[in-house]
Amino acid sequence: MRQDEIWDQDAAERYDSEDEGMFAPEVLGPTVERLAQLAEGGRALEFAIGTGRVAVPLSRRGVPVAGIELSEPMIGQLRSKADESTIPVVVGDMATARVPGSFQLVYLVYNTISNLLTQAEQIECFRNAARHLLPGGRFVIELWVPQLPPRPPAAQVVVFHDEPGYLGMDTFDVVNQRIVSHHFRFDEGEQARLSRSPHRYIWPAELDLMAQIAGFELESRHGDWSAGAFTASSSSHVSVYRLREDQ
């Protein structure tokens, strides 16, 4: 499964309506508020900008935002909300594509760095962020903490979400540090729609090492966008890396 095959026209059209939790004010509001603070009045660049869930409200806050996005159908959805002059987007891979100019902030939200399926690609993503940043600029990553199946692994499957009309399950390949997320959506009858997406999961310590390789230092890590504490029970984290001044 390639990412450009997953994020096709059908997925782009469904994206803004199906994952309503991502768009809830109590989720999106703190995200935009924190990013606006971290931008410190400078330009921001979103890797994997998608349909503009974060970029559009951040732009409306007065932060100049640009983006990189692999999926042209996702960009098409974004264009229904903001034109190219408002939010310019370069079509390409977030690990390699280059946007003109320099930025105070690069950010990558909602676990999307895990869409890069090798460690080498994930390190290149950090290096690409460094190439875009001014000295002392920040790279912000929102990422889930891996929840592996019990060992010994009687079953390599974990149900991560269950609600009326939706069931989410992960299958694991612990040798290669990979999962495939399976999303089952049910209608009123007997039919269900299945979509799948592959990921490479990353432990927080491994993420920090990737950052160091690319010239970053960890500035802060919290359990959410409202700066809640990151603890042993946190299911995700928001990590802020600052580019070293000597880079």
Give the pLDDT score at 9: 57
- Which of the residue ranges 11-15, 21-25, 99-103, 154-158 would you say has the lowest mean pLDDT? 11-15
Check: CB of residue 202 under 8 Å from CB of residue 148. no
**Measured distance between the N- and C-terminal CA atoms of the chain, rounded to whole angstroms:** 36
Name, in order, each residue with C-beta under 8 angstroms of 205's C-beta and a sequence gap of 6 or more. none
Give the pLDDT score at 3: 55
Task: Report the C-alpha gap between 198 and 217 in whole angstroms.
Answer: 28
Check: CB of residue 126 under 8 Å from CB of residue 210. yes
pLDDT digits (tens, 9 = 90+) for 26-36: 889 999 999 99
Average pLDDT over residues 211-226: 97
- Return the higher-pLDDT residue of 47 and 181: 47
Task: Report the C-alpha gap between 173 and 163 in whole angstroms.
Answer: 26
Domain range list for the chain: 3-146+202-243, 157-198
pLDDT class of 240 with cuts at 50, 70, 90:
very high
Task: Report the C-alpha gap between 146 and 175 in whole angstroms.
Answer: 14
User: What's 129's DSSP letter?
Assistant: H
Burial class (CB in 10 A: 0-12, 13-18, 19+), 205: exposed
User: What's 146's DSSP letter?
Assistant: P
- Which of the residue ranges 149-163, 165-179, 195-209 would you say has the lowest mean pLDDT? 149-163
The structure tokens listed for 237 are 């984290």
Rounded to the nearest integer, the mean pLDDT of the chain is 89
At residue 1, does pLDDT exceed 70? Answer: no
pLDDT digits (tens, 9 = 90+) for 103-162: 999 999 999 999 999 999 999 999 999 999 999 999 999 999 988 776 655 557 788 778
Task: Report the C-alpha gap between 42 and 58 in whole angstroms.
Answer: 12
At residue 18, does pLDDT exceed 60? Answer: no
pLDDT digits (tens, 9 = 90+) for 48-82: 999 999 999 999 999 999 999 998 888 999 999 99
Q: Hey, how many other C-beta atoms are within 10 angstroms of the C-beta on 179?
A: 24
- Return the higher-pLDDT residue of 23 and 217: 217
Q: Hey, how many other C-beta atoms are within 10 angstroms of the C-beta on 168?
A: 15
Tell me which amino acid residue 144 is: W
74 phi, psi to nearest 5 deg: -65, -40
35 phi, psi to nearest 5 deg: -65, -40
Tell me the CATH number of domain 3-146+202-243, given options 1.10.3470.10, 3.40.50.2300, 1.10.510.10, 3.40.50.150. 3.40.50.150
CA torsion sign, 229 to 43 to 137 to 121? positive
Give the pLDDT score at 5: 59
**49-84 residues labelled b (16+ CB within 10 A) or e (exposed):** bbbbbbbbbbbeeebbbbbbbbbebbbebbeebbee
Give the pLDDT score at 119: 96
